[in-house]
Amino acid sequence: MTTPLRWGIIGTGGIAHTFAHGLAQTDDVVSAVGSRSQESAEAFGAEFDVPGRYGSYQSVVEDPAVDVVYVATPHPMHCENALLALKNGKPVLVEKPFTMTADEARELVSVARTENLFLMEAMWTRFLPHVIAVRELLAKGVLGDIVSVEADHGQWFEKDPNFRLFAPELGGGALLDLGVYPVSFASMVLGTPKSVTANVTPAFTGVDATTSMLFGYEGGAQAILTCTLLARSETRASIVGTDGRIEILGDFYAPTSFILKLRDGDSELFEFSTQGRGLHYQAIEVARCIRAGELESASMPLDESISIMETMEKVLRFL
């Protein structure tokens, strides 16, 4: 039997809870959790039966019972917290967006490579069964030449200046939290865009509230992407090629199904059996890579995470 991988979680917010629930569907365990308050760490530890409960992040990365660290803190803390783990010899899975800036992303990747440690952005969508199937169809050339990619991610949030998505100091805005999914999806299909155009409507706090993007690529393909904090959208995605198209049913970024429609009129529904929210798939990939001695995942490469941050920086210049 493979020895369970022992996770240390930095942060005790909503995504940390979702990840811990997902990890329960694997053979691995949460062995430590760190928060800025001991009380929060104790509550999280009691909920998930975590033995190591710390009122600091430093204690998590220094715990010898931690094999890998998951960074689940607010966006502006991702780089600092991931660096803390890397510099203490721990492999890291860091929540998306990878960092706040491309410079931070480059710094993280440089340190991980210097230290010969595994690092990955937690774009959990990449590892869901329907996305794996989509990539297999693309690799086979079923759609022919790709003409366009469309994706949207809109959620409604009450206009509260203290809520993290409206708070500039917490890395708020539609793009970094919601738009990262469509941007990463387009990157997965088409790579780094040659041109970036955007129309951005600011929220009352100055962060982007609604952002529409048009990316152009070598060869003529385009991506049309939108995100908003102001309304619940269909959250669907499609890939259109010369020989057919794939329509991913909402929510495209979570476990779902898709339809393949060929130019000759044939169509096929692809459905998948998944458990829970689906974050455990990325945890399984992290464990696989670490056990195999791989320093990054081929499904979410580090250079691509840097490229995605560079693209989002270009979009935010339109704010």
pTM: 0.96
Shared domain check, 247 and 145: yes
Q: What is the pLDDT of residue 158?
A: 96
Shared domain check, 218 and 143: yes
Does 261 participate in catalysis according to the annotation? no
Torsion over CA: 115, 121, 124, 129 (sign)? negative
Catalytic residue (one of 90, 96, 159, 194): 96
Shared domain check, 252 and 227: yes
In a domain, residue 148? The reply is yes
Shared domain check, 153 and 31: no
Longest dimension (CA), the chain: 62
Q: What is the pLDDT of residue 289?
A: 97
In a domain, residue 281? The reply is no
Examine the pLDDT at 1 and tell me if it is beyond 60: no
Shared domain check, 182 and 99: no
- The stretch 125-150 carries a mean pLDDT of 98
In the structure, what pLDDT confidence band is assigned to residue 76 with cuts at 50, 70 and 90? very high
- CATH code, domain with 148: 3.30.360.10
In a domain, residue 1? The reply is no
Q: What is the pLDDT of residue 218?
A: 95
Shared domain check, 69 and 184: no
Shared domain check, 115 and 213: no
In the structure, what pLDDT confidence band is assigned to residue 186 with cuts at 50, 70 and 90? very high
Number of domains comprising the chain: 2
Shared domain check, 251 and 145: yes
- On whether the CB atoms of residues 237 and 252 are closer than 8 A, the answer is yes
Examine the pLDDT at 6 and tell me if it is beyond 60: yes
> What is the number of alpha carbons within 13 Å of residue 224 lying toward its C-beta?
7
Q: What is the DSSP string of 145-186?
A: SEEEEEEEEE-B----TTSTTT-GGGT-SHIIIIIHHHHHHH
Contacts for 300 with CB less than 8 Å, ≥ 6 apart? 120, 121, 123, 126, 127
Q: Name the residue among 58, 59, 54, 95 with its Cα closest to residue 78.
A: 95
Shared domain check, 116 and 145: no
In a domain, residue 119? The reply is yes
pLDDT digits 0-9 by tens, 165-182: 999 999 999 999 999 999
**Residue range(s) defining the domain that contains residue 202:** 129-273
Examine the pLDDT at 53 and tell me if it is beyond 80: yes
Shared domain check, 11 and 73: yes
Using only C-alpha atoms, the chain has a radius of gyration, in whole angstroms, of 19
Q: Name the residue among 185, 191, 173 with its Cα closest to residue 256.
A: 185
Shared domain check, 263 and 177: yes
Helix (H) or strand (E) holding 30: strand 29-34
